[in-house]
Amino acid sequence: MAQIDNMNQQVVFLSDGSKRTRGRDAQRINILIAKAVANAVKSTLGPKGMDKMIVDDLGDVTVSNDGATILSEMSIDHPVGKMLVEVAKTQDNEVGDGTTSVVVLSGGLLGKAEKMLDDDIHSSIIINGYRMAAKKAKEYYAELADSVSIKDSKTLKDIAVTSMTGKAAEASMELADLVVEAIKTVSEEENGTTINRDKIKIEKKGGAGLTDSELIKGVVIDKEVVNEGMPKKMAKAKIALIDSALEVKETETDAKIQITSPDQLQAFLDQEEGMLKNMVEKIKASGANVVFCQKGIDDLAQHFLSKEGILAVRRVKKSDMTLLSRATGAKIVNRTNDLNKDDLGFAEDVNSKKVSGEDMVFIEGCKNPKAVTVLVRGGSDHVMDEAERALNDALGAVISAIKIGKVVAGGGSSEIEVAVKLREYAKTVGGREQLAIDAFAETLEIIPRTLAETAGMDPIDTLVNLRSKHAKASGKYIGVDVYQSKLVDLKSQKVIEPLTVKTQAITSASEVTEMILRIDDIIAGSSKGSAPPMPPDMGGMGGMPGMM
């Protein structure tokens, strides 16, 4: 409880001193937590990284080596651990890849900072040095980068393969083709290339294998045709999208209908039937032969639709309705009375197919599809889930590369090159900041070092050899080939990553490190929304000295 001594204004924040951690102890605890989180995902880095199995309280199992997935599934209570989870989410949302790298770099920077703090270097000096190093590192990455455009399909495929390797390795080449084709299909060239990630849907269905996954230039809806009497296939489909129910709605206020004779009951049922029939007639009059409804369709309405030969699907997700609108050009209408031929979309083929024993509706052959679906197949849910994560990473990486138009060589080659340049830069800075810049350079080397460890190579010998090769102008693309367990030119090996994956990781890691190093006091606070108890003899503001 807060207490105030009116004589000397001494403030005691907590009556229980055990709940407060200060100074170096607070910094050590925070750094320890950050290092523990980083070490938890460090071994997943690279194509030969190990997987993690996360089992929740209900016994549900997640098997993955995707950093963002592991961190989001882990049970982390400490605030610093949650900060690193947020950093990984930011990296995932911004560029779609590099989530493990950003957490490993954050843990590495804090580990190096801990040693400097032990040598009595103030945290503000470390922060300043890290800030200078981060700025320079991003400049050096930009100097290393090569240009790429959406027309360069081979390079885009290399980026996708690099991103997916280690996650869905056995099918990465086939899935990479799907990724590049999907992005090219939904891209728009007005005022430069723009790509909306939301226009690419990933749908999973068990059975077959990953190599049987396919790209549908349209939309796949995991629903069945609503009535057996309806056609299961419609060529030259004219599609209506309705987000209201094809049912007789209840009144908004409570209403009581009193029926005293069979004639009145029949009249009521006839009126209801007439309303449903009118809805279907409006749909028919618009020229629609396929209906996707976001809400329910009454049994009687289904009967009338069947008689008119209209294919209908009900309870379609809002996100799928949006994709259907983009793919077919249809407008989503709220009322059947407002539906007309200008609101309809078009597709060459709408077909209900059996996939793994379950019905799915395929909408294909759209004139100018600005929405596509990647249908992922696999032998188990775990395989498909991991393939989905790999596809999401690849989509994010390729879109980021096109957006910025710059790529760098992977496999730790760019990290070593930037580290070499940072050490040269540190010599020009001098002072204690030089130590922080050197520490930043050493942290970047964690990436190639970890890659070497996962490949079974000696990490120290690997780093020494890499530094030696990068000291020469001809060695800037030399990195760790984890498959051959040797150092090779990774640009020629087509191991390519988007520049933004590197620069965003540097930005996020340095910012979270700076925030954590600034904390020197951990105080137990009250729950938000609950006012702290008023100290005794303080009836409002009048109890404070000098207040009237």
245 CB neighbour count, 10 Å cutoff: 17
**How many Cα neighbours within 13 Å face the side chain of 543?**
12
The per-type count for the chain, helices as H runs and strands as E runs, is: 16, 21
Q: 518 with 127: CB under 8 angstroms?
A: yes
Q: Which residues are catalytic?
A: 66, 99-100, 393
Q: Structure tokens of 264?
A: 């009145």
Backbone angles phi, psi at 348, to 5 degrees: -65, -30
Residue 469, judged by CB atoms within 10 A of its CB (0-12, 13-18, 19+), counts as buried
Q: How far apart are CA 478 and CA 415, in angstroms?
A: 10
Residue from 295, 284, 306 nearest 249 by CA: 295
* 191 CB neighbour count, 10 Å cutoff: 6
Whether residue 154 contacts residue 464, with contact meaning beta carbons closer than 8 Å, is answered with no
Query: What's the rounded Cα separation, in Å, for the pair 84 and 80?
Result: 7
CB 372 within 8 A of CB 217: yes
d(CA 391, CA 96): 10
Q: How far apart are the first and last CA of the chain?
A: 25
Three-class SS of 393-431: HHHHHHHHHHHHCEEEECCCHHHHHHHHHHHHHHHHHCC
The conformation of residue 155, written as its DSSP 8-state character, comes to H
